[in-house]
Structure 1
Amino acid sequence: MAMEFVACPEACKARLACGHACTRTCHVKSDPDHEMYTCEKPCRKLKKDCSFTAEENNEDHLCKKKCYETCDVCKVEVMKKRQNCIHSQKVPCHVDVNTILCRKNCARLLPCNHHCKKKCHEPCGDCVMLVVKKIPDCNHKVKVPCNKFLDSSMCKAECQRVMSCGHPCQSLCGEPCDPENCNHLMNYADYSPCGHKIALPCKIYQAIRSGDKVDLRVLLKHCKAACKARLECGHECAGTCAACWQGRLHAPCQQRCDKLSICGHVYGTHTTHCCTRARARRAGRAARTRPASSAATSSASADTCTGRTLLTAAHEHVRGVLAGLPARALPAALRQAQHLRTRMQGAV
């Protein structure tokens, strides 16, 4: 009589490699080594590449799949401490924080005792902190970046050296002293051709003492004596002997004009110049001799304004031309300039 196989009703209870117990009944005749068994229980392992080590509060790091399924990579954001600096950074749990460049401010102390101002991943050095340093040659102090080496050419202070001519240098300390370009004023022993005592720059004074010939116009140019000539407007000229070409070509009067205009009002304002108003009065008298009309009045006003501008421009132009002429041509040129100025004043 053949015997039939009867399945054992007892639970298997074998412990699987995942740690769970087998949920089948006794199966000694079917896959007894659990090589084909699939564990359906929830996975309670840490996710793949998880670096979280605490046993508490690790719920977010545990795998949520079933036991037989492949665990996901742990992407929970965690704060990790770097090994090569003092900074920490929040990164996904599976990432090695030391493989990421640290972009926080560097906190290392440099040899100069200043904190590095670069980013943490950059090499330290090149301190740019502004500090006060002494320039070796002159001992003047200057504020420069800490990493900058100083030399005398960087000094922007006033030079305190005395030149070979006996005068203090007027250049910057970082520039070479040049006694041949000294502009310190010195009293000239002789009189200028205009009859006044003058003070000459040291470089011209030394040239005269060494026997060099100096153009007389150079002496006249440095005469600072007051002109004090009485102008046509009645005011005293406020220019200097040199500025007025020794009284031959006066600059326009800059005094305040207090004379009456053709309407009976006083011209005087703080911005009104006497010679400007004198030309305006002449233009007004000329306008009264013409037929009265609004167009003629408007034209006279415009001509007066334009004439004032032209006269000032012509005066400056003549001064520039005269400065470039040789000495023997000056008398004739000055007579022509005076004649031209008189004609322009009459026209304005």
Structure 2
Amino acid sequence: CLPCGDFVDVPCCIASSLSELQRFPCPKPCNAVLTCKHKCVGTCGKCQNGRLHISCEYKCERPLICSHVCKAPCTANCPPCLSFCETRCVHSKCNKRCGELCVPCKEPCAYKCKHLQCTRICSEPCDRGPCNEPCDQKLKCGHDCIGMCGEPCPRQCRICNKHIVQEILFGTEDEPDARFVFLPDCKHLIEVTSLDKFIETAFNNQNEDTALRFPECPR
């Protein structure tokens, strides 16, 4: 039995000497949970019987403020994010790393419809809000678009694709005058009043641990 209380096989020359036995490092895995929440990969002897653990050898994997995962060693301070930046607009896409400053787009803002138009450049906050008028376009099937003016037209029709359009998420999808926003990235339809409330709730519930990012699709 070693001083730490573990029973291990040791050479006879060590077992016969109390001083050698006391200096013999216990080879059993430590397996203690460190303050970083990772399991210690050291041995009982290397960690001085749990009094002083070796440095964590896992990757950090904590979410950065940009919502990407840190890939640095756990014991190091999180460096600026090295993932590629996801910022883009209708004119261009940022080709820098996420932790670097983007080059602001200088093109005129493309957010406009026949009712409202932003007068600022693309990289500045818009000086107009969303248009609340219904879209007046016709779908390929000949029925009215169920989207909002100035937004990408949903591909689904309230009549031809009723089972898709009225699939309940927030409870307002089956109202006869419901209007929808089409999300181009994920191709989902979200009822507009419910989407407004969802985004408002997401921003109002932010705290110091919230990543700096736009709300994700609720589906």
Q: Which has the higher strand share?
A: 1
Larger radius of gyration: 1
TM-score by length of 1: 0.25
Higher relative contact order (CA 8 A, sep 6+): 2
Q: Which has the higher helix share?
A: 1
